[in-house]
Amino acid sequence: MFTKILIANRGEIACRVMRTAQKMGIKTVAVYSDADHGAPHMRQADEAVHIGPPPAAESYLVMEKIINAAVQTGSQAIHPGYGFLSENAQFTQMCKDAGIVFIGPTAQTMQSMGSKSAAKDLMEAAGVPTSPGYQGVDQSLETFRTHSNKIGYPVLLKAVSGGGGKGMRLVTREEDLEEAISSAQREGKASFGDDRLLIEKYIERARHLEVQIFGDTHGNVVHLFERDCSVQRRHQKIIEEAPAPNLPLAVREKLLNAGVAAGRAVDYVGAGTVEFLYDGQDQVYFMEMNTRLQVEHPVSEAITGLDFVEWQLRVAAGENLPLTQEQIHEKGHAFESRLYAENPATNFSPSTGTLTTLRFPNPDETDIRIDSGVEQGQDITPFYDPMIAKIITYAENRKQALGKMRLALRETFVTGLETNTAFLHALSSEKDFIEGHVSTHFIEDHETSLFETVDHQDYPLAAWLLWTLNHGEGNQSEYIQDKTHHQSPWGQLKGWRLNRPNRQVFWIENNNAPTVINLTQKDNLYTITIEENADAQSRRKGADINQPRHFTFSGEMTSTHEASITINHHTQSAFIAPHQKGTRIFINAQHVDILPSNPLSGNSNQAATSGSLNAPMPGNITAILKAPDDTVAAGDTLMVMEAMKMEHAIKAPHNGTVKAFRFDIGDQVKDGDLLVEFEETE
């Protein structure tokens, strides 16, 4: 067995590999970029080596730097994690040439499976069912157009060397094919250094199933059952489970046998995943084989009780697989939710910023597992994947495991940036998902219910007021010039009145609406009068203001960030924490943001609307598709920027004319930079 290994990755997966290696008595070496200096994976390792600037192309993807770090530290093997160099055959060969064991399959296997087109040819020869498509050498537009028409729309363009949804585009009509090809080629080149594409027939409302396999250097190949990864956004998984629900036994047997056959066809060594599409009837189609450990491997670990990283290390050291197929058993059910720094309301666009609050539920060894590589106070940068954590729950049956997932999501609190926590909770609460009726179209088919905001009425406002009163942070204090008399009732801003209940006035932005709150307090009972759309400018102009409404509540802060609020004899718990320029209040996995508002200003704090021509986050410009003075229609793509390993199209918000581009291809842009000067057509 190895005595020291280097993990050529970062974040959650690096920490995950280190836990098992250190449990086995193996020393670990981390690599880190400037952006990851001081990150948890760097501190968890026994040693850490700096490998360059934040961009992955200058650090985590530079093979020579990784090899040199392993040689300098005396590492005997390299674990690639997933992403980055994990499926790079050249890197695998470089490890071998340097006398370092690559913890994964051989370069030859990786080459045969790393190309989706070559993999499909190989699988067809091995008798594994594949979907109709084109995976030829000719990459011309006319060839793609001819084959797409022959296959029949909709078709799916896929980067030949791709994975994780990168370089993948759904095309529903011929008119969109050329732009989709260009976009997929750019993303494939940026993510994998390869702009070649293939075409597959898009099977609508299919299920995405995958088989976990393991092989060793002695010719043994086994499966560790299947996972269902159907629910996706942008062709990337967000919630997975094992085993797959509502799967006929005959289909399951066909699926597992096909997975093992795929592994045997390439003499597979190590952990691998064979991915299939299931048509919902009786047919499964091979899609691709991922020659690495998958993000979702914890759900398979949960139902088998095995440590897949330990298996990887033992196989890489030349040992036999720890168990035979007959010795591998499944028990129970598991779910994994991927907690991302992203905003589902804006097409799941990634979110950057500082994790001012990061709180997970208390883990129970048998019920819940949190795999994370970040911590409170850390920055989520635009340089890497926006995953914050994986939340994994396990129970004896699917219903119980899903119930634990909903509870875990309700007890997960993040502030400082946007996350998909509420969306994941809505998804796991959706009736069809609860019943296991899923497909790759699940989000589109349930868009209304998944994006519906739950109205908790006055509880968030009451929780915010209680938090503010207890923390002495009445937002009106910033408009008081004399703050020296903190010991007097006037200086404390507590609304003190002689022989009368305390009374205070708060000016806030609540759901982007300027709001005035009059609060009267007597003991533990609070009476509130709310005037919405009551900003100072409207008052001066005599504009209509919503009729004031009233309610009374009682409550207490049960901890620094937690409150119990009672309205009309019904009690709710809330979690409150600072968020950007205001405060975020969480109730039952939903959240409400409240911002302070200057009563002397008529400006509101409303966020930029969709269709904005400003950069949604830091990144770099990769394409400009129009020219100054071009007349465009609403929704036309004007330029493309790349950030957080994804392309973001900047589109015309209205019909109009492009006046000027503020940046050129290759330029770095900051969050909020104006990218295009645009004149709307009247």
Residue 305 near residue 331, CB atoms below 8 Å? yes
Q: Are 76 and 4 in contact (CB under 8 A)?
A: yes
Residue 645 confidence (pLDDT): 66
Joined together, the tokens standing for residue 244 give: 């797959």
| Contact assessment for residue 183 and residue 640, using Cβ atoms and an 8 Å cutoff | yes
Q: Can you give the pLDDT at residue 368?
A: 93
239 backbone dihedrals φ, ψ, rounded to 5°: -145, 135
Instruction: Give per-residue burial for 482-504: e unless 16+ CB within 10 Å, then b.
Output: eeeeeeeeeeebebeeeeeebeb
E strand residue ranges, 166-238:
168-171, 197-201, 207-215, 221-228, 232-233, 236-237
8-state DSSP, 665: T
Pairing of strands 4-7, 77-79: parallel
List residues with catalytic annotation: 292
User: Along the chain (682 residues), what's the average pLDDT of each consecutive run of 10 residues?
Assistant: 98 98 98 96 98 95 98 98 94 97 95 80 89 88 94 91 80 94 89 87 90 97 98 92 97 96 95 94 90 96 98 98 98 98 90 95 81 96 92 97 96 96 97 96 93 82 92 43 38 48 78 83 88 56 63 94 95 96 93 78 40 75 92 90 79 89 89 87 75
Percent composition of the chain: helix, strand, coil (DSSP 3-state, to 5) = 30, 30, 40
**pLDDT value at position 472?**
57
What pTM was computed for the model?
0.82
Question: In the prediction, which pLDDT does 453 show?
Answer: 75
Amino acid occupying residue 90? Q
C-alpha–C-alpha distance, residues 43 and 367, integer Å: 27
Report residue 77 as tokens. 């093997």
pLDDT attached to residue 490: 43
Nearest CA among 649, 657, 667 for reference residue 628: 657
pLDDT score at 474 = 42
Residue 378: exposure state from Cβ atoms within 10 A (0-12, 13-18, ≥19): middle
Residue 316 sits at φ, ψ, to 5 deg, of -65, -30
- How high is the pLDDT of residue 515? 83
For residue 477, the tally of other CB atoms under 10 A from its CB is 13
The per-residue pLDDT for 673 is 86
CA-to-CA separations, 138 to 13, 141, 196, 302, 592, in angstroms, rounded: 37, 9, 9, 44, 52
How do strand 4-7 and strand 27-33 relate by DSSP bridges? parallel
